[in-house]
Amino acid sequence: MTDTPNSGEFIVVKAKDNGVNVIGLTRGQDTRFHHTEKLDRGEVLIAQFTDHTSAIKIRGKATILTKYGTVDTDN
Ligand code: TRP
- Domain residue extents for the chain: 10-72
- Give the pLDDT score at 7: 83
Distance CA 44, CA 37 (A): 11
CATH of 10-72, one of 3.40.50.970, 3.50.30.10, 2.60.40.50, 2.40.40.20: 2.60.40.50
Distance CA 42, CA 18 (A): 8
Atom of ligand 1 nearest to the CA of 25: 5
- Angle 13-18-21 (CA atoms, 0-180°, nearest 5)? 50
Q: Give the count of beta carbons closer than 10 Å to the beta carbon of residue 54.
A: 15
Q: Is the CB of 27 under 6 A from ligand 1?
A: yes
Whole-model pTM: value is: 0.91
Cβ of 28 closer than 6 Å to ligand 1, yes or no, is yes
Give 11-52 pLDDT, tens digit per residue. Answer: 999 999 999 999 999 999 999 999 999 999 999 999 999 999
The CA distance from 13 to 42, in Å, is: 10
Asked if residue 55 has its Cβ within 6 Å of ligand 1, the reply is yes
**What is the reported pLDDT for 6?**
67
Q: Which of 57, 46, 53 is nearest to 21 (CA)?
A: 57
Q: Are 33 and 23 in contact, with CB atoms under 8 Å apart?
A: yes
Average pLDDT over residues 48-70: 98
